[in-house]
Amino acid sequence: MVPCSPGTDFLRFKGVRVKHLRHFFWVGSVVLAMLAAVPMTAVAQSQGTGKSATAKKTSSDAKRKAYAKRSARVVRPARPSDAMRAGLHGTRDPLSLRSSVAYVVDQETQEVLFSKNEEAVLPIASLTKLMTALLISEAELPLDEAITITRDDVDTEKGSASRLRIGATLTRGELLHLALMSSENRAAHALGRTYPGGLDVFVEMMNAKAQLLGMQDTRFVEPTGLSSKNKSSARDLAVLVDVASEDELLRDYSTSRAHQVADGRRKLMFSNTNRLVLNPRWEIGLQKTGYISEAGQCLVMQARVAGRNVIMVFLDSAGKLSRLGDAERVRRWVESIPVKQQIVPMTDNRTEPQATRVL
């Protein structure tokens, strides 16, 4: 560092003129600070990059562990139905139906057209609601009476959901409609709960009605079908369908395609659980579907097939759509039978090939 020229107060430092010595030291401190900041910034960036990389690695490890856990998880098979545990799934039949139980009857002549394990007493799920609806209709209670859904109507048996909230108020007629068409559990329970005398009296009436109709294999413990203790046989259910199909209100409600109800300002649209009511090839007078794991997929119908009124009962069908497929197979088979000579396959309820009977 040397003076720039005599008589001046400038200093020259590596070719840079600096006025006064204090300015020189101030500039020097700034330069030193800048030089010191460079490695600190680099370190901070390096640390930040390290933290980001560590976070990404941790996230990646967590994802790999979660995937490994899911892959190693044991998949539990669906709970076998009562019919499956009884070995009824092994019963063969000429139509290769997927239902463990099938029963087809000419409603007018009471001729048994097809039978398969028809004596087996099994859970019937929401087919129960057909008896519930029959009692409500026969009681001639006012259908325009308002009924409010309460906590008592919530399913504590299976924990099933419902679109009818607690506090929703509908008429008895609307609840009856939804119970038959959409298999609404809270609707069915509310119908039984508000029956004169209460729920216990209603269940007693259900069982009394079954006995009156000669349904010796049938027992009810509640009005929805959520309990697997609600049991019956295909033969008994055919009797129930026969009687219920004479009720015009039950025919209309069970076969309607859709229905809208008002819950306050909300509009709720419900649809039929049986898509066959939408099929123009079917002329269905009455129907009801049902499902719980113990019962499997169930279906009962009264329909006009090939010029005759036929009652069909299918219990414990293996698959959500297989009960409908079984109904289609039976319909095509009935349509193919000659009018004067009807060949009727009859099962012997064993796993051997079935015999046929000519009427």
Q: What are the domain boundaries of the chain?
A: 1-51, 83-358
pLDDT tens digit string along 22-51?
Answer: 554 554 555 455 555 545 544 445 455 555
Q: In this model, does residue 311 exceed pLDDT 80?
A: yes
The answer to whether 57 is a known catalytic residue is no
- The residue annotated as part of the active site, out of 99, 100, 129, 209, is 129
Q: How much is the pLDDT for 339?
A: 61
Paired residues of 268 in beta bridges? 261
Please state, as a whole number, how many other Cβ atoms lie within 10 Å of the Cβ of residue 162: 17
Reading the block at residue 53, the tokens are: 């990389």
Which residue in 81, 99, 126, 228 is the catalytic one?
126
Pairing of strands 355-358, 112-116: unpaired
**pLDDT value for 30:** 52
User: pLDDT (tens digit, 9 = 90+) per residue, 60-76?
Assistant: 666 666 655 554 444 44
Amino acid at 207: N
In contact, 230 and 131? CB cutoff 8 Å: no
Report long-range pairs for 43-51 (Cβ below 8 Å, ≥24 apart): none
Given 137, 182, 183, 254, the catalytic residue: 183
182 included as an active-site residue: no
Distance CA 16, CA 31 (A): 13
Q: Spell out the residues 6+ positions from residue 280 whose beta carbon is closer than 8 angstroms to its own.
A: none
Q: Can 126 be counted among the known catalytic residues?
A: yes
What are the distances in angstroms from CA 69 to CA 55, 72, 148, 149, 205? 21, 5, 46, 42, 52
pTM: 0.75
Residue with the larger pLDDT of the pair 54 and 287: 287
Give the domain 83-358 fold: Beta-lactamase (3.40.710)
* Long-range contact set of residues 242-247: C-beta below 8 Å, sequence gap at least 24: 242/105, 242/107, 242/302, 242/311, 243/134, 243/213, 244/130, 244/133, 244/134, 244/286, 245/107, 245/285, 245/286, 245/302, 245/311, 247/134, 247/137, 247/138
Average pLDDT rounded to a whole number, residues 162-169: 97
What is the C-alpha separation between 180 and 221, in angstroms, rounded?
Answer: 19
Residue 245 pLDDT greater than 60, yes or no: yes
